[in-house]
Amino acid sequence: MINSIIRYTVIFVILIFLQVLLFNNIQFSGFINPYVYVMLILILPVEIPSWLLLIICFFSGLTVDLFNGTPGIHTSATVFSGFIRPYILRMISPRDGYEAGAVPSMVIYGFRWFLLYSGVMIFAHHFVLFYMEVFRFAEFFATLLRVILSTIFSTVFILLAEYYRRGR
């Protein structure tokens, strides 16, 4: 228990640093802004109590907001994705359900399962994030394009990171 708390804290710090120092500086035609810190929400244990999940989401979003100077925008996106995570996990659960103490990972459930899971989660997160950011429905489809392109890039980065994690 203590062990896994420490491990998740370390992952959290690494992800935040990657996000602030590296990914916040990526600029690609104004449409692609990958947000990889979402990975923390993806890889929390399956059976984590939903209230704890929501609170972890809230504080991780708040931390990113502090560094970005965008109060509330990342927080609302992470809390939303934390809220829908249990439903998505239930929807795409394997035939014989999850084992006790399972963690959503590529190595256990396979590449296709993880791609579907992370794709849906990241899309939900980015959807709330980008519409909260512009805070208007004018140019709806331009924003939607940003959501989709950024989702693709974030997913690719997170899959790569998951691949690396699996190697250890």
Partner 1 sequence: MRNLLNFLARYNNLIIFLLLEGFAIYLAVQGNDYHNIRLAKGMRLMTLGVEKNIAKTRTYFNLYSVNSKVAQENIDLRNHIEKMNRSADHLFISYTDSANNQQYTYTSAEVINNSTNRQKNFFTINKGKKQGIDVDMAVISPDGVAGIIVSSSENFSVGMSLLNIDFHLSARIKSNGYFGSVTWDGRDYRFAYLNEIPLHVLINKGDTVLTTGYSSIFPKGVLVGIIDSYEKAGGDFYKVKILLTTDFRKIDYVSIAGNLRRLEQTELEKPYK
Give the interface with partner 1 as residue ranges (CB under 8 A).
Answer: 20-21, 24-27, 29-31, 33, 50-51, 54-55, 57-58, 61, 65-73, 75-76, 79-80, 82-83, 86, 132-135, 139, 142
What does the alpha-carbon distance between residue 149 and residue 129 come to, in Å, rounded to a whole number? 13
Nearer to partner 1, 79 or 161 (CB): 79
What does the alpha-carbon distance between residue 32 and residue 152 come to, in Å, rounded to a whole number? 9
Tokens 């929807």 appear where?
A: 91
Contact 32, 154 (CB under 8 A): no
Cβ 137 to partner 1 shortest distance, Å: 13
Nearer to partner 1, 86 or 108 (CB): 86
Cβ 31 to partner 1 shortest distance, Å: 7
Cβ 50 to partner 1 shortest distance, Å: 4
What does the alpha-carbon distance between residue 73 and residue 126 come to, in Å, rounded to a whole number? 11
Nearer to partner 1, 133 or 165 (CB): 133
The phi, psi pair for 93, rounded to 5°, reads -65, 145
Cβ 62 to partner 1 shortest distance, Å: 8
CA end-to-end distance (rounded Å), the chain: 20
Nearer to partner 1, 3 or 25 (CB): 25
Tokens 């929400």 appear where?
A: 41
